[in-house]
Amino acid sequence: MESYLLDWANLLLRWVHVITAIAWIGSSFYFVFLDNNLIRPKSPDLLEKGVDGALWAVHGGGFYNPQKYLVAPKKIHTELHWFFWESYSTWLSGFALFTVSYLWSAGTYLVDKSLLDWSPAAAVAAALGFLVAFWLCYDQICRRFGFRKNGDAMVGAGVFGVICIASWAACHLFAGRAAYLLMGAMIATAMSANVFFWIIPGQRKVMAQMAAGERVDPTHGKRAKQRSVHNTYFTLPVLFAMLSNHYSFTYSHAQNWLVLILMMLAGALIRQFFVMRHGFKLGRNANPLRYALMGVALVVGVLIWLRPEPVAPAAAAPEGIVSASTAVGFKTVQAILTQRCTLCHGEQLQMKNVRLDSPERIRQHAQALYQQVVVAKTMPMGNATGITPAERTLIGLWFEAGAKTD
């Protein structure tokens, strides 16, 4: 029953998380587009009101005329809409999903004993430490270098360096799939923290200064704009890290940390292309296409790098275990499954409603068994039962020979 309820919690939280993330990312993309397309008006009445940029757009049968004020308008005549619950709801639902999916069963999903044999509690503490430590490092980099000359480049280089170190560390401490998800959660936490600690408080200070009739401090707007731009560049790397845990050829690679870094960098470069491409403010010599081409080149390079090498049948069997010309008997495979798999897929416990304690049930799940144990190498989860590469190969040879159980 616990497994069934956790599956439902996972499904519902994932659903909510995706919905709120779409809302947050959509509004982020829209406002970046808006900022890059606003044109300074020539109309004296708009300039007198303090309008710094305006845009005409048509959508859904209606015309829209958004306007941006320099620092702040003198007065707001209608209800003010705040964009923050999209961010908060995304983070809260994401953290709840991370808790249900990984932290609740840390010994299974976070810990890979072949990397580090530590307690589930220690793994959970370390995972939470990643979220906090990255935010503190990123925030300090922004504070110290964000408004210096060439500050954007300095912040970009510093944050990229921290992400590289964190990726290497995560992939050497946690199971590959958990490491990728943790990196996505780490960056997403910084994104939401930007909204919570800087963007919204800064805007509230501006509103208070307006209400008091005081001069509005432009620093709040500049800092909010800076953090908002950072968030839009974080978006595609975070999405890759979150989605890639469904594709084991990425996180199961020996250099999975480097795969993650290259793909996140590709996402940031491609996002740079769209940010620049959607702006009317580009100079004649600007060429944003190069960013897209660099991002695509990185993706293609990783794709070629990770391609599976063809394995000749004669070389498939591990030396000293069985020759390629000798069929792997079902009893051999059944013995492996009894030792490595039936702890979670036997009479007492049937994770995901899968049992592997009889020939009939093994035959029924042979395809999934081959995919999860041999191809993806995601089972046993975290290799908690210590299955060996030779045993995986034997299961693969048995399946490829017809998965016979007689």
Pairing of strands 51-54, 62-64: unpaired
Within a domain: 300: yes
Both tokens assigned to 95: 């953290």
Nearest in space to 349 (alpha carbons), one of 8, 113, 2, 101? 2
Which residues 6+ apart lie within 8 Å of 385 measured at CB?
339, 340, 341, 343
Which residue, of 251, 283, 305, is where some domain finishes? Answer: 305
Residue 40 CB coordination number (10 Å) = 12
Query: Are 116 and 21 in a shared domain?
Result: yes
Give the model's pLDDT for residue 255.
95
| Residue 57 domain flag | no
Q: What pLDDT does residue 279 have?
A: 60
**Encoded tokens for 219:** 């620093």
Is residue 58 in some structural domain?
Answer: no
CA distance 151 to 144: 9
User: Are residues 105 and 26 both part of a single domain?
Assistant: yes
Residues 220 and 123 in one domain: yes
CA dist 382 and 115 (Å) reads: 10
The per-residue pLDDT string of the chain (406 residues; one tens digit each, 9 = 90 and over) reads 666 788 888 889 999 999 999 999 999 888 888 888 888 888 888 888 889 899 999 998 899 999 998 777 878 878 888 889 999 999 999 999 999 989 988 988 898 888 898 999 999 999 999 999 999 999 999 999 998 989 899 999 999 999 999 999 999 999 888 999 999 999 999 999 999 999 999 989 988 888 888 888 888 888 998 999 999 999 999 999 999 888 888 988 889 999 999 999 999 999 999 888 766 454 444 678 999 999 999 999 999 999 876 654 444 445 545 444 456 888 898 899 888 888 888 877 777 778 888 888 898 888 888 888 888 777 887 777 888 888 888 998 898 888 888 7
One domain, residues 79 and 106: yes
- pLDDT (0 to 100) of residue 73: 82
189-200 CB burial, b ≥16 within 10 A, e <16: bbbbbbbeebbb
Question: Contact at 8 Å (CB) between 189 and 131?
Answer: yes
Considering the domain architecture, whether residues 271 and 298 belong to the same structural domain is answered as yes
**Surface-to-core class of residue 376, CB atoms within 10 Å of its CB (0-12 exposed, 13-18 middle, 19+ buried):** middle
Which pair of structure tokens corresponds to residue 72? 């702040």
Using omega within 30 degrees of 0 as the cis cutoff, is the peptide bond preceding 380 cis? yes
Residues 369, 395 contacting (CB under 8 angstroms) = yes
Are 102 and 172 part of one and the same domain?
Answer: yes
Distance CA 367, CA 388 (A): 20
- pLDDT given at position 2: 67
- Count up the domains in the chain and report the number: 2
Question: Would you call 69 exposed, middle or buried from its count of C-beta atoms within 10 A (0-12, 13-18, 19+)?
Answer: middle
Query: How much is the pLDDT for 386?
Result: 81
User: Within a domain: residue 263?
Assistant: yes
Range of the domain at 343: 313-400
Per-residue model confidence (pLDDT) at position 172: 96
Pairing outcome for strands 51-54 and 67-69: antiparallel
CB 194, CB 165: distance < 8 Å: no
Q: Which two tokens stand for residue 150?
A: 């060439």
φ, ψ dihedrals at 57, nearest 5°: -145, 155
At position 195, the amino acid (one-letter code) is: V
pLDDT of residue 315: 45
Is residue 137 within 8 Å of residue 80, measured between CB atoms?
no
Collapsing DSSP to helix, strand or coil, 114 comes out as: coil
62, part of any domain: no
Q: What is the pLDDT of residue 310?
A: 62
Pairing of strands 51-54, 57-59: unpaired
Do 218 and 273 share a domain, yes or no?
A: yes
* 313 CB-side CA count, 13 A: 8
Same domain? For 128 and 25 the reply is yes
pTM of this prediction?
0.81
Of 402, 383, 294, the C-alpha closest to 343 is 383
Of 305, 340, 365, at which residue does a domain stop? 305
The confidence score (pLDDT) of residue 282 equals 47
Same structural domain for residues 271 and 378?
Answer: no
Q: Enumerate the H helices of 216-288 as residue ranges.
A: 218-243, 248-251, 256-277
Of 305, 329, 346, the residue at which a domain comes to its end is 305
Q: Is 405 within the bounds of a domain?
A: no
The CA radius of gyration of the chain, in Å to the nearest whole number, is 26
Sort strands 57-59 and 62-64 into parallel, antiparallel or unpaired.
antiparallel
- Give the closest residue to 33 by CA, choosing from 266, 286, 289, 228: 228
What local confidence, expressed as pLDDT, does residue 284 receive? 44
